[in-house]
Amino acid sequence: MVHQLLMPSQEIRTDRLLLTPLTPADIDDVHGVFSDARTWIHLPAGRHTVRASTVDLVQRKIGGRARHGLGSWAVRSATDHAFLGVGGVDMTAAGVWNLGYRLAPSAWGNGYATEIARAAVSAAHEVAPDVPITGRVLTNNPASAAVLERAGLSLVWQGSTSAMLPTGVERQVWADRALSRTQRAWLVANA
Ligand SMILES: CC(C)(COP(=O)(O)OP(=O)(O)OC[C@H]1O[C@@H](n2cnc3c(N)ncnc32)[C@H](O)[C@@H]1OP(=O)(O)O)[C@@H](O)C(=O)NCCC(=O)NCCS
């Protein structure tokens, strides 16, 4: 069970994880994960090949948290504080949360992404209960889809877009509730 203790610093502890708002001090750790080709096996073009991409990512997430009261966390082990990756929700231009996670390969297979996703859903409900929580995945990434499902999201759309993908791979949009036509259209267009 996820038991959260919301600290003044917005630090959250789950059973096994320490979730803290991303800060510039996390950039090198985040870059280690986002530049690792193994974390982009489903979408190789997304890999960060230069540190500036990670600086930009972290700055955007910090800005999003400042504007919307919540954003992705730096994820660390609650016991030894080892950096495990990034996960949580970020606000999108469609006015819905995007639930995402990218963990170091050595951390996979322990249920950490599920633990992060449940904490993120809980935090999003506290900050903005009326805002849908959504996720976007590729059909070649069933582990990620399994995490969304366990966090309470359901598949609302699957199909192809004009963007290049490996042969036979489609895009999916998941959500925790009914979406407006505009929200759905934005998510499909940006799936
Ligand atoms: C996707 C990712 C976050 C999952 O992290 P994780 O901590 O290993 O996930 P969890 O252990 O919480 O849950 C994954 C579930 O998917 C299942 N799974 C893994 N591979 C699977 C596969 N090929 N088919 C079906 N289910 C699979 C796991 O068995 C697990 O379920 P279980 O606990 O019942 O066994 C991690 O692999 C990652 O960071 N990948 C690279 C980045 C990425 O793909 N991010 C998502 C982009 S949309």
Task: Give 62-121 pLDDT, tens digit per residue.
Answer: 999 999 999 999 999 999 999 999 999 999 999 999 999 999 999 999 999 999 999 999
- Residues with C-beta less than 6 Å from any ligand 1 atom: 39, 42, 101-103, 108-114, 137, 141-144, 146-147
* Residue 8 scores a pLDDT above 90: no
Q: List the chain domain ranges.
A: 12-189
- Choose between 116 and 162: higher pLDDT: 116
Atom nearest to 112 CA in ligand 1: 7
Residue with the smallest CA separation from ligand 1 atom 48 is: 137
Q: Identify the pLDDT of residue 2.
A: 44
* Residue 164 scores a pLDDT above 60: yes
Write out pLDDT tens, residues 120-161.
999 999 999 999 999 999 999 999 999 999 999 999 999 997
Topology, domain 12-189: Aminopeptidase (3.40.630)
* Residue 167 scores a pLDDT above 60: yes
Tell me the average pLDDT across 18-35.
98
> Which residues is 135 bridged to in the sheet?
174
Q: Identify the pLDDT of residue 3.
A: 43
Q: Identify the pLDDT of residue 53.
A: 98
Which of 14, 103, 112, 153 for a ligand 1 pocket mutation test, highest count of atoms within 8 Å of Cβ? 103
Task: Report DSSP state, residue 139.
Answer: T
pLDDT level of residue 9 (50, 70, 90 thresholds): low
Reported in sequence order, the residue ranges of 110-153 that DSSP labels E, i.e. its strands, are: 133-138
Q: How far apart, in whole angstroms, are the C-alpha atoms of residue 40 and residue 102?
A: 9
Q: Identify the pLDDT of residue 7.
A: 40
Residue with the smallest CA separation from ligand 1 atom 30 is: 143
pTM, to two decimals? 0.93
Laid out side by side, the sheet with 73-77 consists of 12-13, 17-21, 73-77, 83-91, 97-103, 133-138, 171-175, 154-159
Pull the structure tokens for residue 163.
Answer: 């963007």
Mean pLDDT, the chain, whole residue set? 94
The residue type of 46 is G
* Residue 5 scores a pLDDT above 50: no
Distance (Å) from CA 8 to ligand 1 centroid: 31
